[in-house]
Structure 1
């Protein structure tokens, strides 16, 4: 989801964007070489919401969806939203996370999964966790759930390339070395997940719904609670249909944890 500047913005809306820009520029940097950098929005102590961005393989800002995170924090004041930069990523404001993303390609490695798991362990000490990953961030999150000690109460995987073998088969035009380092979430048991919501857009040509359907079957075979949602007219990047389903899933996770 990208924010687009619009002319003749009303003063209140302009102030909102100014405050969001301030958050981007001056939020607290990471304090450890083992801690993923990013943005922390909100001060709620009852719930931690972790957001992991997509690959942004074309060089875009991985935290360009900061308005989405800010909206979640506004709507769920009892939560703190952690918008993490995935391993090896940096944003235009100078924040950078440890790890290696290999030029934003073929990066779903065990090493990166362990870094994410370590951060989930740390954040999970404060409050129950709702962990959300989009696209490549979903694949890395799914892998991370097989490592570390934190039990992630709610997991939301959006547009996940969770079956790398099928993904490769669906793209015969890719060079043979496109997927070499990465490992497939299908080959692991995400035993640290209590409940997984898998969301896929019916019009997603980047990570087709078959990938999510296969992963849901994988979770079924492991006895892990999950729900698969195919969003009519949803795309890959986060059009209105997909982003609405994404937000609804976060609210549903919050309600389950409150009961």
Structure 2
């Protein structure tokens, strides 16, 4: 079930009140909310972040959000269109998109996404927050877990370029004219891993045959989390190429992670 396109959550969400519209504070990001509408009914908020490709060339974050709330009881899902990107219906988020070559995981963009999540989280004090992202969305989720650790309880990272400088060097060799030589101020998830809170749970998925974000760019991040004592479900999916939000293994990993998170005290 879908609620109020382009909005975060209800302004009040008190029992019996009509859903009211609010805007993400100072971000202008396009968002869409799925699932439960009453604040007291929501135990898990799933935030969905899409990859770097333009709309039509990437997995649909709205579709994953809808599947997630159908599969996970007492949940709401907030799909966020990242800064500068648009959705399949022509709606566009404010901000700079960059060239989509690992150059748009900057502090400014992380702040916009993080503030949108915070606006939702503030209205749901009883809900765990799980961020699910593929590709660049996974890198943003990992960075947010490191620089704003109180914001997030769990992350599901799919095909993550989690060792960013090494991945960009690799992609420059794969596509010499693709703009990968551009200087970037993006945050490297491996370097932000030291800020991840010990109680966070993580799941990471990568296809065994992935030629864009092979496991050598996600495994070091999984190892860094494990060294910090963070429970990490790291999966290399056999025979699979590059995984996206469309792959059923992602929803299954999200369900498992949510089931293992402790409930928040009422």
Quickly name the TM-score band, shorter chain normalised.
0.7 to 0.9
Return 5+ residue gaps in structure 2 as ranges.
Answer: 9-22
Q: 1:85 aligns with which of 76, 81, 84?
A: 81
Contact 2:46–2:65 under 8 Å retained in 1: no
- Residues 124, 159 of structure 1: CA spacing in aligned structure 2 closer, same or farther, 3 A cutoff? same
Match of 1:9 in 2: none
Match of 2:160 in 1: 160
In the TM superposition, residue 136 of structure 1 has moved relative to its aligned partner by 0.5
Contact 2:207–2:240 under 8 Å retained in 1: yes
| SS of equivalent residue, structure 1 residue 198 | strand
Match of 1:74 in 2: 70
Across the aligned residues of Structure 1 and Structure 2, the Cα RMSD in angstroms comes to: 2.7
Match of 2:121 in 1: 124
1:206 and 2:184 aligned: no
In the TM superposition, residue 230 of structure 1 has moved relative to its aligned partner by 0.8
For residues 72-99 of structure 1, give each alpha carbon's deviation from its aligned partner in whole angstroms, at most 9, with x where no partner exists: 2122241001111112212243432232
Q: Distance in 1 between matches of 2:50 and 2:180?
A: 26
Q: Please, what TM-score do these two structures have when normalized by structure 1?
A: 0.79
Aligned length in residues? 234
Contact 1:50–1:82 under 8 Å retained in 2: yes
Q: Distance in 2 between matches of 1:238 and 1:145?
A: 20
Match of 2:30 in 1: 37
For residues 112-146 of structure 1, give each alpha carbon's deviation from its aligned partner in whole angstroms, at most 9, with x where no partner exists: 12222222322223111111111110011111123
- Residues 187, 176 of structure 1: CA spacing in aligned structure 2 closer, same or farther, 3 A cutoff? same
Q: Distance in 1 between matches of 2:72 and 2:256?
A: 12
- Residues 119, 65 of structure 1: CA spacing in aligned structure 2 closer, same or farther, 3 A cutoff? closer
Contact 1:121–1:148 under 8 Å retained in 2: no
Q: Please, what TM-score do these two structures have when normalized by structure 2?
A: 0.77
